[in-house]
Amino acid sequence: MIIQKTENSRISTFDPNNFSFGGTFIDHMIICEYENGKWGDVKLVPYGPIPFTPAMMGVNYGQACFEGMKAYKDKDGQVFLFRPEKNFERINKSAKRLAMPEVTEEMFLDGLKALVDIDRDWIPQGEGMSLYIRPLIFATEEALKARVSEKYMFAIVATPAKSYYSEPVSVKISDHYSRAANGGVGSAKAAGNYAASFYPTQLAIEEGYEQIIWTDDATHEYFEESGTMNVFVRINDTIYTPPTSEKILDGVTRDSFLQLAKKRGIEVKVEPIPVKTVIEAQKNGTLKEVWGVGTAVVTTVFQALGYQGEKLALPKLSDADSYAATLKKDLVDLQNNLSEDPFGWRVVVDHALETV
């Protein structure tokens, strides 16, 4: 790895109590370029612009995929990543589906650790605070031909992330728009999947909802995801979530919730969730909770489901009664080194670059 430390650190301008999540960038980034059939040197360099023309294939043909993950700082200042190997596996799954070159462990995991290590001062401390990390791969060849690019960039950029409590939201069960096709790219964290979701979400907002529960594109009879999150439904005391598939993202938070639920002895069923079943359960009072999970907010709890023009209210549960809140706390405590880690999910980021 080639390391070029910044000579103009911006850390003195960073106020951990007052910053914009997503728009504040740490001092460094990882970049690595692919050309002539192979990846070049992994470089840790100052965060900043790189020249691209509007003929860059990444913005013309959409070969671009990413990961979202976090680093956490405990009360002693120790820094941890959370299950980074899951993101490493998934970015390569996404890359394969988009006909992009896979990245190596050195690029992804070593790059990640070096970046988090060198910029560990940017990680805010305290409940729910973290560093949000964005590894991505995108096509960089300058060419106007609708074919696979011959040049790519792998990069890791990061922004400090606030603790944010997410208010319960109302979600519309989609009856027209969809997120993924059979035989499509729904299971990949493909850039284009996000762009495709914005307009339907805007329409749902105009109808008085905050998010969409995506359903299958052919019949709209089954739950797929909610917003940019995996979806969970609790009927009586059983938790349901759809199985991952080529249409449903294999979420790290989803998998962690499943394991944490099992550890607590909560009954979990990974099976298709018919919209009809959820609506019936709402009508007969057995529907207890519906929520989404993802890296950014961990959990968003739903207070109402929009279906066929009706807004169906969900019960308000106390944190003690809510599986969503209980499992969120289990996860966040584990991530922040406030509890045991029987799964081996925490990965300490060693001090390795201090003498550089």
Binding site residues, its own copies, CB under 8 A: 21-23, 25, 29, 31, 47-55, 58-64, 66, 96-99, 132, 134, 136, 138-139, 142-148, 153, 155, 157, 159, 174, 176-185, 190-196, 198-200, 202, 217-218, 228, 296
Distance of closest approach, residue 240 Cβ to its own copies, in angstroms: 23
Give me the phi and psi of 127, to 5 degrees please: -55, 120
Fill in the amino acid letter for 81: L
By beta-carbon proximity to its own copies, the closer residue of 88 and 138 is 138
CA distance 178 to 2: 43
By beta-carbon proximity to its own copies, the closer residue of 162 and 234 is 162
Of all helices (H) and strands (E), which one includes residue 231?
strand 229-235
Distance of closest approach, residue 108 Cβ to its own copies, in angstroms: 14
Residue with tokens 């729904």: 186
| Residue 143: C-alpha distances to residues 53, 54, 139, 140, 222 (Å) | 10, 10, 10, 9, 40
Distance of closest approach, residue 270 Cβ to its own copies, in angstroms: 23
By beta-carbon proximity to its own copies, the closer residue of 144 and 320 is 144
Q: What is the DSSP string of 137-191?
A: EEE--B--SSS--S-EEEEEEEEEE---PPPPEEEEE-SS--S--TTSSTTS-BH
Distance of closest approach, residue 163 Cβ to its own copies, in angstroms: 16
CA distance 153 to 139: 6
Distance of closest approach, residue 238 Cβ to its own copies, in angstroms: 30
Distance of closest approach, residue 264 Cβ to its own copies, in angstroms: 30
Whether residue 294 contacts residue 228, with contact meaning beta carbons closer than 8 Å, is answered with yes
By beta-carbon proximity to its own copies, the closer residue of 90 and 179 is 179
Torsion, Cα of 291, 242, 109, 105 (10° steps): -170
By beta-carbon proximity to its own copies, the closer residue of 122 and 240 is 122
By beta-carbon proximity to its own copies, the closer residue of 67 and 289 is 67
Q: Say how many C-beta atoms besides its own lie within 10 A of residue 57's C-beta.
A: 25
